[in-house]
Structure 1
Amino acid sequence: MKTVNSLFFGLALMSLTSCSYVEHFEKRAQAINELEDKILVLSKENQEMNNKLMQANYKIKTLESKNYYLETQLKDKAPMKESYTKRTIASVARVDSNDLVKYDVYKWDAKEMVSIAQKEFDSKNFEKSAQFFNAYTKNFPNSKEVDADFLFQAGVASYESGKHYDWSEKYFTYLTKKYPTSKYYLGAKLWLGMSYLKQNRKDEFFAVVEEFRKKYRNTPEWNILSGHYEKIVQKYKKN
Structure 2
Amino acid sequence: MYKAIKLTVFATLVTSVTSCGFMNHIEERSAQINHQEDTILQLSKEKRELKYEISKLKTEIAALETKNQYLSVQLKESMGEKPARKIASVAPVYDTGDMVKFDVYKWTPEQMLAVAKKEFSLKNFEKSAQFFDTYKHQFPTKKMDDQFLFQAGVAAFESGNHYDWAITNFEKLVEAYPTSEFYRGSKLWMALANLKIGNEDKFFSAAEEFRKKYRNTPEWKILSSHYEKIVQRHKKN
Q: Which residue of 1 aligns with 2:25?
A: none
Q: Following TM superposition, by how much is the alpha carbon of 1:52 offset from its aligned partner in structure 2, in angstroms?
A: 3.7
Please give the alpha-carbon distance, in whole angstroms, between the structure 1 residues aligned to 2:158 and 2:190: 13
Q: Does 1:139 align with 2:147?
A: no
Pick aligned residue for 1:56 from 51, 69, 72: 72
Task: Give 1:154's aligned residue.
Answer: 152
Flag structure 2 segments of 5+ consecutive residues without an equivalent: 1-48, 86-92
Q: Please state how far the C-alpha of 1:225 moved relative to its aligned partner.
A: 2.1
Letter of the aligned partner of 1:179 in structure 2? Y
**C-alpha deviation, 1:202, in angstroms:** 1.3
> Quick check: 122-131 or 200-209, which moved more?
200-209
Q: Tell me if the contact between 2:83 and 2:104 (Cα under 8 Å) persists in the aligned partners.
A: no
Note the 1:144-183 alignment, pairs <5 A: 144=143, 146-183=144-181
Distance 1:43 1:233, change over 3 A: closer
Alpha-carbon distance in 2 for matches of 1:126, 1:191: 15
Q: Structure 2: how far apart are the matches of 1:150 and 1:136? A: 11
SS of equivalent residue, structure 1 residue 103: coil
- Relative to structure 1, the CA distance from residue 42 to residue 191 in structure 2 (aligned partners, 3 Å threshold; closer, same or farther) is closer
Candidates 190, 208, 212, aligned match of 1:192: 190
User: Normalized against structure 1, the TM-score is what?
Assistant: 0.64
Q: 1:234 aligns to what?
A: 232
Partners of 1:211 and 1:191 lie apart in 2 by 14
Shift of 1:140: 0.9
Q: Distance in 1 between matches of 2:59 and 2:82?
A: 35
Q: 1:59 to 1:194 in 2, by over 3 A?
A: same
Partner of 1:137: helix, strand, or coil? helix
CA–CA distance in structure 2, aligned partners of residues 189 and 46 of structure 1? 29
Q: Which runs of 5+ in 1 are unaligned?
A: 1-32, 70-94
Q: Take 1:123 and 1:209, find their aligned partners in 2: how far apart are those partners?
A: 30
User: Structure 1 43/162 Cα, relative in aligned 2: closer, same or farther at 3 Å?
Assistant: closer
Contact 1:202 1:236 in 2 (8 A): no
Question: Equivalents in 2 of 1:238, 1:180: separation in Å?
Answer: 38
Distance 1:124 1:178 in 2: 26
AA matched with 1:201: N
Q: Which residue of 1 aligns with 2:11?
A: none
Give yes or no for the alignment of 1:114 onto 2:130.
Answer: no
Report the equivalent of 1:102. Answer: 101
Distance (Å, rounded) in 1 between the aligned partners of 2:205 and 2:62: 49
Determine if contact 1:65/1:105 at 8 Å carries over to the other structure: no
Separation (CA, whole Å) in 1 of partners of 2:112 and 2:120: 12
CA 1:238–1:201: 2 relative to 1, 3 Å: farther
Please state whether the residue corresponding to 1:105 is helix, strand or coil: coil
Q: Distance in 1 between matches of 2:113 and 2:163?
A: 20
Residue 237 and residue 147 in structure 1: after superposition, are their counterparts in 2 closer, same or farther (change >3 A)? Answer: farther
Give the secondary-structure state (helix, strand or coil) at the position aligned to 1:120: helix
Cα pair 2:84 2:104 within 8 Å, conserved: no
Task: Measure, in 2, the Cα distance between the counterparts of 1:235 and 1:133.
Answer: 36
Cα separation, 1, equivalents of 2:204 and 2:62: 49
Deviation at 1:228, TM superposition (A): 4.2
Aligned-residue sequence identity (percent) comes to 49
Shift of 1:54: 3.8
